[in-house]
A and B are shown apart, each in its own frame.
Chain A
Amino acid sequence: MVSIQLLSEDEEKVKIQFSISDTGIGIAVDKIDKIFENFQQASSGTARLYGGTGLGLAIVKQLVEHQGGSISVKSKIGEGSTFSFILTFKQTKADAEIEPEIVELDTEITNVKVLVAEDIALNQLLMRTLLDDFGFECDIAANGKIAIEKLHAKSYDIILMDLQMPEMNGFEATEYIRNTMNSVIPIIALTADVTTVDLAKCKAVGMNDYIAKPIDERLLYSKIVGFVKKTIVLNENTEILNDESIKLKCTNLDFLKQRTKSNPSLMMEMISLYLEQTPALIKIMNQSLLSKDWNLLYTTVHKMIPSFSIVGISADFENMAKKIQEYASTRKQTDKIHDLVIQIENVCNRACDELEEEFNLIKNTK
C-alpha cells in the first residue's frame, strides 16, 4: 500500500512523507540498521530464497539523502514492513498537471478523425486496426510530406506522428504544421526510442505528447480522448469559417492525371468507366435500402468505395460509405442509413455532372 502524507507546511516549503507498506516476512529488529548498507540483505539466506543483490535499499537511501530527505523503516516479523521517506519541496502556485487517467472505451466518442503519419506498412496496419477498434476514423500518410498534404485537404482532430520517416520526418513535419500552417492541432509523437534527447526535441518542435512503441492501446486511447475533448471546445468557435467550401467541386482529377501521366485517352477511359457504373450503383443502393436488403446494400456500397478516391471525392464520403456498410452488416442503427445514403447519392450525382463536363473538355481539346 502506498500513501502520501503532508507533515508540515509554511509559506515557502512543504514536508511530505511517502510510505509503502507490505505484508511480507518482516525484518528482525537487530537487522534493521544493516539493510541500508551496500550488498546487505536482512539475512544471508534472503538472496537464496527471494533473490536480489542487496543494493536496492542502499541506492534508495542515497537518492533520498542527496535530495535532503531521510528514510526510515518500521517492521514486525511475520507481519510486514513499512518503508517511508520524507522530502521537502518548494511551494508553487502553478496548477497541477493532471496525468491522463486510463479512460475506458466509450462508444459515445465517435467521429474522431485521426491522421497517422507512419512509414512502415505493418505499423500502419496496426494503427489502423487499433483506431478502428476505438471507433475512430483514420487516414494514413506514409511520410511527413503526405501528412501535410492530407492536412491541407481535410480537417483532423489529432495527429499521431512517427519520428523516423523518409522524405520528411516527424520533427520536420511538426515544425511545418506549427510554424508555416500555424495549426494548433494536437500532435502525439510515436517513438520506439524514448530517450531524453528525442523527447526534448519533440517538445521543442511543438508536439504535445508522446507514446512509446510498442503502443499500449489503453494509453493511446486515453491520450487521444484527452486531447480531443480539450479541442472540441476550441473548435466550436471556428467552425463558421469553413462554410465557404460548399460550392467547391467535389471531384479532383489530380490522382488520375498522375496515374495516366495526363494521357487524354486514358483519362477519358477512366472517366467513362465511372460514368457507366455509378448511376447503376446508385440505383441499386437506393433499391436495396427500400427493400431493406442489407447484404445487397453492403456489397453495392463496397463496390462504390474504391471509385471515390480515384476521382478525388473527399475521404469524408468514403467514411460515410463505410458507416453504411457497418450499419448494414451489424443491422444496428439502420435508421441512420437513410441520411447517409442520400448524402452519398448527392455527392455521386454531383461527381457525375462534374466528370461529364471534364470528359467533354478533354475530348474537345484533344
Chain B
Amino acid sequence: MMNSNYKRTLFIVEDDAMYLKLVEIEFLQYPDFKLETFATGELCVENLSHNPDLIILDYHLDSVDKFAMNGIHTLDKIKAINPNIPVVMLSSQDKIEVAINCMRHNAYDYIVKSETAFISLQKVIATIFHTQKLEKTLEWYKANT
C-alpha cells in the first residue's frame, strides 16, 4: 500500500482472542502496517499517545468483563482525546440501530463480522488513507500558493 519507510500504526481493539488473531493474520499481508492490539477499550485509550493512524474497534468489548468499557464508550473517549483518528467499528451485531448509533458517535464506518468483513475492511482502509493523502496534498498547496 505504501512505498516509503514510514509505517502506519494501526490499533486493533478486540476482546475475542480468535477474532483478534484472524485480524492480525489478515494484516500480515500488509507489512507497511505496524499493528498494536488491545483486548480492552481502556488499554487502547491509555496508549493513544502512540498516535495511531487508524483504530479498528470491536462494538462489544464488555462481553468478557462486564465492567469493561464498551465499544461506544471507548469510541467517545478516543474522539474526545483526538477527533481526527478514524475509527472503524467491527461488530457481530447486524442491526441497523447499532450501525446508526456507531455512526452518530462519529465512527468512520461500521463493518459486520461476516465472511465479507475483511474485504470491506480493506476497502475502508484504502479509502481512509486515500482521503488523508488528498487532504495532505491540499494542505500543501494551500500553504505554498
Residues in A lying within 8 Å of B, measured CB to CB: 121, 124-126, 128-129, 132, 140, 142, 146, 255, 259-260, 266, 269-270, 273-274, 276-277, 295, 299, 302-303, 305-307, 309-310
Contacts and interface: CB of A to CB of B under 8 A. Distances in A.
A259 B22 contact: yes
Given A303-B16, A303-B63, A128 B21 contact: no
B127 to A, nearest CB: 14
B22 A142 contact: no
Given A266-B25, A299-B66, A303-B64, A273 B95 contact: no
B52 to A, nearest CB: 23
B25 A125 contact: no
Interface in B95-145: 95-97, 99, 112-116, 118, 120
Contacts of A126: 96
A130 to B, nearest CB: 10
Interface residues of B, number: 26
Nearest to A260: B25
A127 to B, nearest CB: 10
A36 to B, nearest CB: 50
7 contacts: A125-B96, A142-B116, A259-B22, A260-B25, A276-B17, A306-B113, A307-B18
Contacts of A146: 115
Contact of A269 (B21, B60, B116): B21
Contact of A270 (B22, B92, B115, B118): B22
Contacts of A305: 92
A303 B64 CA distance: 7
Interface of B: 16-19, 21-22, 25-26, 28, 60, 63-64, 66, 92, 94-97, 99, 112-116, 118, 120
Contacts of A266: 25, 28
A273 B25 contact: no
Contacts of A129: 94-97
- The A interface is mostly helix, strand or loop, or mixed, namely helix
Contacts of B112: 121, 124-125
- A129, A259, A276, A306 interface centre (most CB from chain B within 10 Å): A306
Given A140-B114, A306-B113, A310-B18, A299 B64 contact: yes
Contacts of B92: 305-306
Contacts of B28: 266
A270 B21 contact: yes
A124 B18 CA distance: 25
A302 B97 CA distance: 19
A121 to B, nearest CB: 7
B90 to A, nearest CB: 11
B16 A306 contact: yes
A305 B19 CA distance: 11
Contacts of B66: 295, 299
A321 to B, nearest CB: 11
A277 B63 CA distance: 14
B104 to A, nearest CB: 15
Contacts of A142: 116
A273 B94 contact: no
Contacts of B64: 299, 303
A-B complex: 6 closest residue pairs judged by Cβ atoms: A125-B96, A128-B94, A302-B63, A129-B96, A299-B63, A273-B18
Contacts of A299: 63-64, 66
Nearest to B97: A129
A146 B115 CA distance: 10
B59 to A, nearest CB: 11
Contacts of A274: 18
Contacts of B114: 140
Given A124-B94, A125-B99, 16 more contacts: A125-B112, A128-B95, A129-B94, A129-B95, A129-B96, A132-B95, A146-B115, A259-B26, A270-B18, A270-B21, A273-B21, A299-B66, A303-B16, A303-B63, A307-B18, A309-B115
